[in-house]
Structure 1
Amino acid sequence: MKKIFLFCLPYAGGSSVIYTRWKPLLDSGIELVPLELAGRGRRINESFYENVDEAVNDLLPVVEPYLDKGQAAFFGYSMGSLIAFELIHRIREKHGQNPLHFFAAARMAPHIQRTEPPLHGMEPELFKTKIADLGGTPPQLFENSELMNLFLPLLRADFRLVETYAYAEKAEKLDCAMTVLAGKRDTMRETDVLDWRRHTTGAFTAHSFDGGHFFINDFQKEIVDILHASLGIRYSSLYA
C-alpha cells in the first residue's frame, strides 16, 4: 500500500502544533504533514495572508513535492477546511489529481454565506469578548497583555480571511471521498454542514461530536479512529 500523506490545516489563530498530538495515534502508513500558515509558529515573522488565494499560492509549492510520492489526504479545521478546499481545487486544476480523501471539520459548506456581522473589524475589547464566547482560547491568554498583543492581530487577520472569502462556482466537483465532522453544540446549522456533499462526486460521510466549535480538543482519539477507517486502515499501530 502506498504511503498516505495527511496534510492538516489549522483553525483561525492556530498553528501546525495542534496536530502534533496525533502522531503517536496514527498508523505508520500515514505520514502527518501539518501545514504551517504564515504569521504563526515557526513562520511567526512572516506577514499574514490577505485572503484565501494568498494562502493557497503559499501552500501549493509545499504540497506539490509529495504528490508523486504517495496518496494525499487533507484535513482542515474551521478556517483550515476552507483553505484546504481551495487548495485541493488548485491541485486538481494544475496537476489533474484528486486527493484520496478530504476531511472538513467545524466548518459550514463553502458556498453558504455567513449571516453574522463580521468580527475582524470590531474594536479590540468587543473583538476579545466575541473570541472568548467562541471558546477554545485559554482564559489565561486574555489576562496576559503581552500575549494578547501578539495573538489578536493574527486572529483578526484570520477572521478577515474567512469573512471576506467569496465562493466562486467550480467548473467541476471534486472526485474524492469526503468526510465532515461537526460539534453538536456549535452554532452552525446541521444542514449547512451537510451541504458539503454538493462539492464532491465521491462518497460522503458525516460525524457529529458532543462538543462545541473546538471539539477537536476533547475527541482526538475518536477523530483519528475516523481517519483510519476512512482511509482504509483497520487498526492503528498504537493498538495493534
Structure 2
Amino acid sequence: MSKPQLFMLHFAGGNSDSFNFMHSYLGEFKLETIELPGRGASSDEILIKDFSTAANYIYTQIKKRLTSKNFLIYGHSMGASLAFKVTRMLEEDSITPLCLIVSGNAGPKIKENKKRYLLEDKEFITEVTKLGGLPLEFLESQELLDYFIPILKADFEISEENNLGSESIIKTPIYAIMGDVEKHVEDITNWSKYTTSFFNYEILTGNHFFIFNHTERLCSVIKECYKKNVAKKALDLLTEKMQ
C-alpha cells in the first residue's frame, strides 16, 4: 500500500530544501516539495513572477507526481496562497485533497497593500528582514544577496499581486496556523469563509517564521489532519455504498 502524500509549497525565497527541518517527523508520508523554477535544482530555469502562472506550474507538478488517493497540501506564506488556488484547481478536476494546511497567511483578501518587489534592493532587503527568516550570513554576503534578491522579488510579486477573491471557495477542509506576533494574525478565522467543510486554526508563539520554532507541533497538526480526514473519507464512502 502506497504512503499518503504530503505536497509542500515553499515560502518566498524558498526551494525544495525549505522544509527539510520537518522530514524526520513525517516518516509516514511521501513528501513532495514543489519547487518553483529559478532556484535550487531549477536555478537554470526562468523565474515565474505571476501568481496564476505559478499556480498552474504547481498544479501540473502535483498532477504529475500524484500516486496516492490520500494526499494533503501544506503551504507557508506565499505557499499557502498558492496551495489554496491549486486546491481549487484540483477540485475542478474532481481531485480532492484530504486537507489543506496553511501557515503564515490569513487567507484571501487579507494582505498589506504593498508592492515591496518594486523597491530598490537595499530598501527591499530591509523590508524582508522585518519578517524574520533571513540568516545573518545571508545579509553579510553580497554574493548571496545578488543571487537571492531576484528570486525574492519574483516571489514577492507572486504573493503581493495574487488574485484570490471571494469567488474562490473550496470543499476541502482547512487548518490554519499563524504566529502570535504576525501581522493580520487577528484575521486568521478569515480562512473559514473559503471552505464549505471543516475549519480549524491554531496560533503559536513567534513571528512570520514561527514554523522553525514549532516543528514538532506543526508536524503533529499535519498528522492529526490526515488521521481525522482519512477516517471521514472512509466513513463517507461506506455511507455512500449503503445508500
Same fold (TM over 0.5): yes
Instruction: Report the counterpart of residue 134 of structure 1 in structure 2.
Output: 131
> In the alignment, is the contact (CA less than 8 A) between 1:101 and 1:177 conserved in 2?
yes
Report how far residue 194 of structure 1 moved: 1.2
Instruction: Report the counterpart of residue 39 of structure 1 in structure 2.
Output: 38
> Is 1:54 the equivalent of 2:53?
yes
Report how far residue 31 of structure 1 moved: 1.1
Please list every run of 5 or more consecutive structure 1 residues that lacks an aligned counterpart in the other structure: 234-240
Structure-1 separation of matches of 2:126 and 2:24? 35
Report how far residue 190 of structure 1 moved: 1.4
Corresponding residue SS for 2:17: helix
Report how far residue 8 of structure 1 moved: 0.2
User: What is the RMSD of the two structures over their aligned residues, measured on CA atoms?
Assistant: 1.7
Higher helix share: 2
Say if 1:33 and 1:115 are closer, same or farther in 2 by CA, change over 3 A: closer
Say if 1:189 and 1:208 are closer, same or farther in 2 by CA, change over 3 A: closer
> In the alignment, is the contact (CA less than 8 A) between 1:98 and 1:174 conserved in 2?
no
Instruction: Report the counterpart of residue 106 of structure 2 in structure 1.
Output: 108
Structure-1 separation of matches of 2:24 and 2:114? 40
Amino acid at match of 2:11: Y
Describe the superposition over 1:5-56 as per-residue Cα deviations: whole angstroms up to 9, x where unpaired: 100001101112021222221142x211111111111111111112111112
Instruction: Report the counterpart of residue 150 of structure 1 in structure 2.
Output: 147
With the length of structure 2 as denominator, give the TM-score of the two structures: 0.88
Amino acid at match of 1:109: G
With the length of structure 1 as denominator, give the TM-score of the two structures: 0.89
Q: Which moved more, 1:136-145 or 1:18-27?
A: 18-27
Report how far residue 116 of structure 1 moved: 3.9
What does residue range 199-210 of structure 1 map to in structure 2 within 5 Å? 199-210=194-205
Structure-2 separation of matches of 1:68 and 1:217? 29
Amino acid at match of 2:107: A
4+ aligned runs moved over 6 Å, structure 1:
none
Say if 1:195 and 1:169 are closer, same or farther in 2 by CA, change over 3 A: closer
Report how far residue 225 of structure 1 moved: 1.0
Structure-1 separation of matches of 2:16 and 2:85? 18
